[in-house]
Amino acid sequence: MTQKGMQKSYMCKDIRESCGLFGIFGVSDVAPLIYQGLFALQHRGQEGAGIVVSNGKKIRSAKGLGLVNDVFSKKSFDSLKGHIGIGHVRYSTTGTTRIQNVQPLVAECADGIWAIAHNGNIVNAKSLRRMYQESGSIFQTSSDSEVLVHILADPMYRRRPRRVERALEEMRGAFSFLLMTRDSMMAARDPFGFRPLSIGKYEDSYVIASETCAMAQIGATFIREIDPGELVTVNSSGLHSSTFSEKKDHFAQCIFEHIYFAHPDSNLFGRNVHSVRYQYGRQLAMEYPVDADIIIAIPDSGNSAALGFSQCSEIPLDFGFIRNHYVGRTFIMPEAQERRHWVDMKLAVLPEVVKGKRVVAIDDSIVRGNTSANRIKYLRKAGAKEVHVRISCPPIKYPCYYGIDFPTKKELIATQKTTEEIRDMLGADSLGFISLEGLLTPFENQKDFCTACFTGNYPVEIKSAQGKRTLERYST
Ligand code: SF4
């Protein structure tokens, strides 16, 4: 089955995104640069991509289902001429794909056109949506991101100073936003800073990206991360910063970005992703030492931790698995059945490396367990004498409501079983998960991270956010 064929099969369900954003202001032809930026962010979403540009007068857009390479062609760039632009790669964390949900969303309001691209999950989107629907608004998508369009278009907000800040104040949960009008680009990060968003410089223009790897892709230079609760506006008079939230005692940056989601060459939340994962490997070697002949990584997100484990334990690192790079990341395939199908095609074992050996396999996480069980089975079939598994995150026991796809408790193996039971189910000789303390060791500001999927301590309360919050216009 082709990837395009797969996408058709999971259309038309409710959508929440965890995605990639890229925007640039001030280059004569922005679309090819946005394309390159989105290409570098492809790992953050493979179900759809879109680019919206403005030449100061007209706004034009192109979007479609599939990979960045599939969606855009030379023809798309011919029609996407402008000096301001934002782009988005999309990943639906709870459901399926339809073209209406592919971002950036574009809406014509009474005072002009807005384009909006979002990474995260707005936990009070349902209640906001219901309120607007009850007052007559018609929603075009099933995406949580669309509520921001309706608040911005709301006459109560349109007439007020600091309208965008006031609109952002209504959002609860995880959001990094890129917004665009005919003559400006804006970027905002939620007050807890769940999802990354950074500013860079490309020649004389400003670039905003979810990850710094996308800036490096076009030769832009990183300036700084956007602060939690900050709105950055870029227009013809330069870059301006404002805040839309009181500073929190601590933030809740998603630690899973460092464990799995982000690219190793990105710097986010103050640290380089590869070096954090490397440190996790060293930590695992100290927490769960083992007598073994070789260390192997589960590519690609286990690579850096495997190197750290190997260097700390002085057990040689080798290539036990070879990855097929033409198959998408299994974790971000929404349907479980499709996920299982692709798991089998993704990695090939090298029997010459593992045969007769005591192998330590380093992986980034165990979510449902089916992927890990298959891999251990392949290692044994290839002749591995012992298989020891080390995981560079603690057991995932709770769902994520902030934009990463751990949909239900029922599907999380660590909610259902103890570590020993998981080891038994996987068929491993030993199993070790990094401790929560070990996970936070690489960071000075340890309180500034969300660890809710391991602890159940949710930084933004889900029930009250969905049920009690009312818009300013309804409460005054
Ligand atoms: Fe990230 Fe886990 Fe928090 Fe979700 S619950 S934001 S995956 S750390």
In the predicted model, is pLDDT for residue 407 greater than 80? no
For 7-30, the pLDDT digits (tens) are 322 222 222 346 999 999 999 999
Determine the Cα angle at 288 with ends 286 and 292, to 5°. Answer: 100
> Which atom of ligand 1 is closest in space to residue 174's alpha carbon?
6
CA of 454 from ligand 1 middle (Å) equals 8
Task: Kindly give the number of the ligand 1 atom that is closest to the alpha carbon of 396.
Answer: 2
For residues 29 and 173, state if they share a domain.
yes
Mean pLDDT value of segment 350-364: 97
Q: Which atom of ligand 1 is nearest to the CA of 454?
A: 2
- Percentage of the residues of the chain whose pLDDT score is greater than 90: 74
**Same domain, yes or no, for 247 and 371?**
no
What pLDDT sits at residue 335? 57
Q: Name the β-bridge partners of 107.
A: 114
**226 and 314 housed in the same domain:** no
What is the model's pLDDT at position 331?
A: 53
How many A from CA of 461 to the centre of ligand 1? 13
Whether 226 and 288 map to the same domain: the answer is no
Query: From the CA of 252, how far away is ligand 1's center (Å)?
Result: 9
Pocket test for ligand 1, best of 436, 450, 454 (most atoms within 8 A of CB): 450
Residue 472 or 414, more confident:
414
In a domain, 264, yes or no: no
The residue whose CA has the least distance to atom 6 of ligand 1 is 254
The active-site residue, picked from 12, 19, 213, 450, is 19
Q: Mutate which of 18, 172, 194, 254 to test ligand 1's pocket (most atoms within 8 Å of Cβ)? A: 254
Residues 215, 291 within the same domain: no
Domain assignment present for 258: no
Q: Are 228 and 248 in contact (CB under 8 A)?
A: yes
- CA 378 – ligand 1 centroid, Å: 30
Determine the pLDDT at residue 94: 43
Is 342 a residue whose pLDDT tops 60? no
440-466 per-residue burial string, b: 16 or more CB within 10 A, e: under 16: bebbeeeebbbbbbbeeebbbebeebb
More confident residue, 474 or 139: 139
| Amino acid 332: pLDDT | 52
Q: Which residues line ligand 1 (CB under 6 A)?
A: 194, 254-256, 400, 402, 404, 450-453
**Residues 435, 440, 441, 442, Cα dihedral to 10°:** 130
Judge contact between 427 and 377, C-beta under 8 A.
yes
Q: Are the beta carbons of 186 and 164 closer than 8 angstroms?
A: yes
Least confident of 119-133, 434-448, 458-472: 458-472
| pLDDT at position 330 | 52
Q: Are residues 59 and 18 in the same domain?
A: yes
Residue nearest to atom 2 of ligand 1 (CA): 453
Residue 92: is its pLDDT beyond 80? Answer: no
CATH of the domain at 360: 3.40.50.2020
Q: How far is the CA of 18 from the centre of ligand 1 (A)?
A: 11
pLDDT digits (tens, 9 = 90+) for 201-219: 999 999 999 999 999 999 9
- Counting atoms of ligand 1 from 1, which one is nearest the CA of 449? 8
Q: What is the pLDDT confidence band of residue 403, given thresholds at 50, 70 and 90?
A: confident
On whether residue 206 sits in a domain, the answer given is: yes
Query: Bigger pLDDT: 476 or 104?
Result: 104
CA–CA gap between residue 13 and residue 402 (Å, rounded): 18
Is 128 in the same domain as 72? yes
Whether residue 3 is contained in a domain is answered as: no
Whether 140 shows a pLDDT value over 50: the answer reads yes
Identify the top-confidence range among 143-147, 275-279, 297-301, 344-348.
Answer: 275-279
Distance 452 CA to ligand 1 centre (A): 6
Is the pLDDT at 467 greater than 60, yes or no? no
Residue 37 and residue 132 in one domain: yes
**Strand order across the beta sheet in which 20-25 lies:** 59-65, 48-54, 84-90, 20-25, 205-209, 198-202, 221-225
* Together in a domain, 245 and 276: no
> Which of 256, 398, 451 gets mutated to test ligand 1 (max ligand atoms within 8 A of its CB)?
256
The average pLDDT across 263-286 equals 98
Q: Which ligand 1 atom lies nearest to the CA of residue 255?
A: 8
Range of the domain at 307: 272-449
Q: Is 19 assigned a catalytic role? A: yes
Residue 473 — very low, low, confident or very high, per pLDDT cuts 50/70/90? very low
Residue 169 has pLDDT above 80, yes or no: yes
Buried b (16+ CB within 10 A) or exposed e, 283-303: bbbeebebebbbbbbbbebbb
Per-residue pLDDT, 12: 26
Q: What is the mean pLDDT of residues 158-179?
A: 92
Using CB atoms within 10 Å of the CB of residue 354, give its burial: 0 to 12 exposed, 13 to 18 middle, 19+ buried: buried
| Confidence label for 60 from pLDDT (cuts 50, 70 and 90) | very high
Q: How far is the CA of 401 from the centre of ligand 1 (A)?
A: 8
96-105: pLDDT as tens digits = 568 888 999 9
**CA-closest residue to ligand 1 atom 1:** 254
Name the token pair of 103. Answer: 């971002």
Whether 88 and 150 map to the same domain: the answer is yes
Residue 164 and residue 302 in one domain:
no
Instruction: Give residue-wise pLDDT tens across range 180-190.
Output: 999 999 999 99
pLDDT of residue 2: 29
pLDDT at 452 over 50: yes
- Whether the predicted pLDDT of 370 surpasses 60: yes
Average per-residue pLDDT for the chain: 88
Tell me the CA–centroid distance for residue 164 and ligand 1, in Å: 26
What residue owns the CA closest to ligand 1's atom 4?
400
Relative to beta strand 358-363, strand 294-297 is parallel
User: CATH number, domain at 149?
Assistant: 3.60.20.10
Q: Does residue 365 lie in a domain region?
A: yes
Our mutation pick for probing the ligand 1 site, out of 261, 453, 458, counting the most ligand atoms within 8 A of Cβ, is 453
Residues 247 and 276 in one domain: no
Q: Give the number of the atom of ligand 1 that is nearest the alpha carbon of residue 404.
A: 7
Q: What is the pLDDT of residues 302-326, one digit of tens each?
A: 999 999 999 999 999 999 999 877 7
Which residue, 34, 18, 36, is CA-closest to 26? 34
Domain count, the chain: 2
Calculate ∠ Cα 30-66-103, nearest 5°. Answer: 55
Q: pLDDT value at position 14?
A: 28
